[in-house]
Copies of this chain bind each other. A is one copy, B any other.
Amino acid sequence: MPRILRINTRTKEFKFEELGEYAGLGGRALTSRLVNKEVPADCHALSAENKLVFAGGVLAGTTVANSGRLSVGSKSPLTGGIKESNSGGLFAHKLPKLDLLAIVLEDKPEADAPFQTLFITKDGVEFKDASGIAGMSTYPAHEKLLEEYGDKLVAGMIGPGGELCGKASTIQFTDPYKRPARSAGRGGMGAVMGSKKIKAIVLDPAANEKSTPANADAFKAARKTWVDVLQGHPVTSQGLPGFGTAILVNIVNEAGALPTKNFRTGQFEAAADISGEKIAETIEARSGKTKEGCHAGCIIQCSQQYNDKDGEYLTSGFEYETVWAFGANCLIKDIDQIAQMDRICDEKGIDTIEMGNTIAIAMEGGIIPWGDGAAAIELLNKVGTGDHLGRIIANGVDFAGGAFGVDRLPTVKGQSLPAYDPRAVKGVGVTYATTPMGGDHTAGYAVCQNVLKVGGEIDGHKKEGNVEVSKNLQIATAAIDSLGLCLFVAFAVLDDANGVQAMCDTVAAHTGLKFTADEFLAMGVNCLKDELEFNKRAGFTEKDDQLPRFFTTEALPPHNVAWDFSAEEMQGAKVD
Contact = CB atoms under 8 A, between A and B. Distances in A.
A439 B194 CA distance: 29
Interface string A22-57: 000000000000000000101111110100000000
Given A112-B366, A538-B543, A49 B549 contact: yes
A169 to B, nearest CB: 10
Interface string A93-130: 00000000000000000011000000000000000000
A388 B548 CA distance: 27
User: Most B CB atoms within 10 A — which of A402, A409, A548?
Assistant: A402
A407 interface: yes
Interface stretch (A323-331, A348-356, A391-399, A484-492): A391-399
Contacts of A49: 549
Interface in A356-376: 364-366
Contacts of A167: 402
A195 interface: yes
B543 A111 contact: no
Contacts of A42: 543, 546, 549
A404 interface: yes
A559 B346 CA distance: 50
A389 interface: yes
B388 A165 contact: no
Contact of A405 (B40, B191, B407): B191
B44 A409 contact: yes
A403 interface: yes
A281 interface: no
Please state the number of chain copies in the assembly. Answer: 2
Contacts of A399: 399, 402-403
Contacts of A388: 387-389, 392, 403
A539 interface: yes
A388 B367 CA distance: 11
Contact of A392 (B46, B392, B549): B392
A162 to B, nearest CB: 10
Interface string A221-262: 000000000000000000000000000000000000000000
Nearest to A396: B402
A388 B366 CA distance: 13
Contacts of A395: 402-403
Given A365-B111, A539-B543, A43 B405 contact: no
A544 B539 contact: yes
B549 A407 contact: no
A256 to B, nearest CB: 25
Contact of A549 (B44, B402, B405, B549): B44
Interface string A3-22: 00000000000000000000
A195 B549 contact: no
Contact of A403 (B45, B364, B392, B546): B392
A412 B546 CA distance: 23
A164 interface: yes
Nearest to A364: B111
Interface string A536-564: 01110101101011000000000000000
A194 B409 contact: no
Interface string A49-87: 100000000000000000000000000010000000000
Contacts of A194: 405
Contacts of A164: 405
A408 B111 CA distance: 11
A43 B549 contact: yes
A354 to B, nearest CB: 13
Interface in A282-312: none
A195 B111 contact: no
A405 B111 contact: yes
A199 to B, nearest CB: 14
Nearest to A40: B549
A477 B109 CA distance: 43
A549 B40 CA distance: 10
Nearest to A387: B388
Contacts of A538: 543
A167 B548 CA distance: 19
A532 to B, nearest CB: 14
Given A40-B549, A365-B111, A392-B388, A46 B405 contact: yes
Contacts of A408: 44
A391 to B, nearest CB: 4
Contacts of A45: 407
Contact of A195 (B402, B407, B537, B539): B407
14 contacts: A44-B407, A44-B409, A47-B407, A111-B364, A112-B366, A165-B404, A194-B405, A195-B407, A388-B392, A388-B403, A391-B392, A395-B403, A538-B543, A541-B541
Given A111-B366, A391-B403, 9 more contacts: A42-B546, A46-B406, A47-B549, A111-B364, A167-B402, A387-B388, A388-B403, A392-B403, A399-B403
By Cβ-Cβ distance, the 9 closest A-B pairs, closest first, are A165-B405, A539-B543, A44-B407, A46-B407, A388-B389, A47-B407, A391-B403, A388-B388, A395-B402
